[in-house]
Structure 1
Amino acid sequence: MYTIQEAAKLLGVSISTMRRWEKEGKIKPIRTQGGHRRYTLEELSQIKPLQHDTKLTIAYCRVSSSDQKEDLQRQIENVSQYCTAKGYSFKVITDIGSGLNYNKKGLKELLHLVQSNKLERIVVNYKDRLIRFGYEVIEQICEFHGVTIEIINHTEDKTYEQELVEDILSIITVFSSRLYGSRSHKQKKIQKEAEKWFKESDAI
């Protein structure tokens, strides 16, 4: 959150201009309990004069479960700060769900915008926040429509190791169920062995 002084400096305008924009409905600050104005990065990005952007930028954030809302908020803050610093006109799309789920509401909205030729770029914190497997397919679709993908952090995020384990176990469960049936002894044995292997690997 930015104070009115900080927001005015970021946008390169005066405080009186910020107040006038508020009266005109161009910008809507959040009021604190003490009545002070506070501005979000996303709000400021909608009004910041842009010279080169002709299409929208989507900042995409994802976590695998609802108990990771704090992590989701951190992702939103990171991508918002990045996009604002770059001068992008952007919108944040969020998803809560596995990286193996290709039917998430946010992901479908994102791909629809890509195919509608309304985007210039997609910004994500980490590559696997966009999709767990098949990233190259998404990348080629974006390239065909002239959309670039900007990844803020190219190093592996250790905080998502458990999520990766769960995704791999889900894949093993699906394929072993198809081979042997969901209730078969072999399927359950394979699943238990996989879980045991991951636990032992984590302990090393």
Structure 2
Amino acid sequence: MYSINIASEMLGVFISTLRRWDKEGKFNSINTTGGHRRYTIEELNKIKKIKPKEGKITIGYCRVSSSDQKEDLKRQIETVSTFCIAKGYTFRIIDDLGSGLNYNKKGLKELIALIQSNKVDRIVVHYKDRLIRFGYEIIEQICDFHEVEIEVINHTEDKSYEQELVEDMLSTITVFSSRLYGSRSHKQKKLKKSNGRSTC
């Protein structure tokens, strides 16, 4: 059971709008003994169907695993943009750099935030695995709740599972190696400084 405040946040509408829809009989709320409205998840799903999609846009999401794949990223952006223009979508592109194993990518976090704010009508990707390699079902469930369609241009695999996994693993190893090398270099510099002071 959800309060009207939480329901309005989840659905991205004003509380006054929920009250008006309630009076119009578009759904059924439950009144507590204290006279407060409560909503079940079933009723929230009904509300989603009558909620207007005005102001929502299409997001074209493009991703590559590493910085040396800039040409691939350009091709993705061009393909996705051309597709959206041909469909007549109002859209913007979010491009991302990072492994399909990484859930902390800047672009992916921005995309999820836009979905949860009910600002997205659909997501367009060149290949399904460009969105995310693992955990796709979680993104799909978030999109389903917020009535966001995921539109895949090319349903063939961009790369083999093994090839993509190897690239993701190499990208991850490179990042950790750089951090480890940087950490060791910093420690060595501190050690040299401390040794220099001790000999003075």
State the TM bucket, normalised to the shorter chain.
Answer: 0.5 to 0.7
SS of residue paired to 1:141: helix
CA distance in 2, matches of 1:170, 1:56: 32
What is aligned with 1:166?
A: 167
Report the TM-score, using the length of structure 1 for normalisation. 0.55
Cα distance, 1:163 vs structure 2: 2.7
Contact 1:56 1:119 in 2 (8 A): yes
Contact 2:65 2:167 in 1 (8 A): no
Unaligned runs of 5+ in 1: 1-51, 174-204
Cα 1:54/1:74, change in 2 over 3 Å: same
What is aligned with 1:126?
A: 127
SS of residue paired to 2:151: strand
CA distance in 2, matches of 1:72, 1:160: 19
What is aligned with 1:186?
A: none
What is aligned with 1:86?
A: 87
Percent sequence identity is: 75
SS of residue paired to 2:154: coil
- Between the two proteins, the alignment pairs up a number of residues equal to 121
Contact 2:59 2:124 in 1 (8 A): yes
CA distance in 1, matches of 2:167, 2:80: 26
Cα distance, 1:161 vs structure 2: 5.1
Contact 1:113 1:119 in 2 (8 A): yes
Structure 1 or 2, whichever has the larger Rg, is 2
CA distance in 1, matches of 2:163, 2:115: 30
What is aligned with 1:143?
A: 144
Cα 1:141/1:162, change in 2 over 3 Å: same
What is aligned with 2:96?
A: 95
Structure 1 residues 17-28: aligned runs within 5 Å: none
Cα 1:125/1:53, change in 2 over 3 Å: farther
Contact 2:58 2:89 in 1 (8 A): yes
Q: Structure 2 counterpart of 1:96, which letter?
A: L
What is aligned with 1:115?
A: 116
Structure 1 residues 8-23: aligned runs within 5 Å: none
C-alpha root-mean-square deviation of aligned residues, in Å? 2.3
Q: Structure 2 counterpart of 1:103, which letter?
A: N
SS of residue paired to 1:133: coil
Cα distance, 1:165 vs structure 2: 2.2
Cα 1:125/1:161, change in 2 over 3 Å: farther
Cα 1:152/1:168, change in 2 over 3 Å: same
Q: Deviations over 1:47-79 (max 9, x none)?
A: xxxxx9741000000000001000000000000
Q: Deviations over 1:23-51 (max 9, x none)?
A: xxxxxxxxxxxxxxxxxxxxxxxxxxxxx
Higher relative contact order (CA 8 A, sep 6+): 2
Unaligned runs of 5+ in 2: 1-52, 174-200
Cα 1:53/1:74, change in 2 over 3 Å: farther
